[in-house]
Amino acid sequence: MSKNTIFTGAGVAIVTPMNADGSVNLEKYRELIEWQIDNGTDAIITCGTTGESSTLDHEEHIAVMRAAVEQAKGRVPVISGTGSNDTRYCIELSKEARDLGADALLLVTPYYNKTSQQGLIAHYTTIADEMKMPILLYNVPSRTGVDIKPETYAQLCKNPYIVAIKEANGNISSVAKTMSLCDGNIDVYSGNDDQIVPILSLGGKGVISVLSNILPRQTHDIVARWFAGDIEGSRRLQLEYFELAAALFSDVNPIPVKEAMNLMGMDVGDCRLPLCRMSEQGRTALAAVLKKYGLMQ
């Protein structure tokens, strides 16, 4: 099979809204997806870190993935987070996502038990060969304790089903080496909102974004301007929203982005324990940044 780009632009790592009793608010979730698509988001990434996948049980995970596919109705790709530190369970959940109609899978590196680089190759190759559908590797070592090395990407990109990377290791030199070694055989998306333009400059396809939860149009525009040849316009937008993007990581993700959405009247509820609400001081500081950007009164 030839590798096709899943999307170019800004995909939203969408939050999972909760009701007051802590249950998943699927009605609000569908509203958020509709609002995202109306405002230019290029892909929906469901059940990722920002979607609190680690505290969704199996049935909730399936319900959220189903709602995303049904609501998107093929207008933008839906990428389902089905990664696990258990290869067998990852395959089981990935089959559910495939049967629901997901366009691709987002697979985080194994966490807690971790693994070697050879183990990463075996893990991802086993899943890709079983699933035979587009897979995005998700590298976020600050969360998982595992960093996919450029040389490992160079091996993995030979698999026809491993088509892209969400790179959130924060290391631009590492991204450059990955791009060099893979030689165009894998797409790269920034996993950090403050590194969209740097990764685009190396040949990246866009971003899988937390910022898009509150500014879908503007985040889309950072990438769209780049590909339209307006490099300066893209750069200016990246820097204009730098402070806001940083504020969304002033506490553990997705605590600040959910807080921001609630302050903006979007009513997405709290995070599930063990993630708790921001301190009053943190909330006040976040509100000040939102006011600076005209996002709340």
Give the active site residues: 138, 166
d(CA 70, CA 102): 10
Torsion on CA atoms 127, 129, 134, 135, rounded to nearest 10: 30
d(CA 91, CA 89): 5
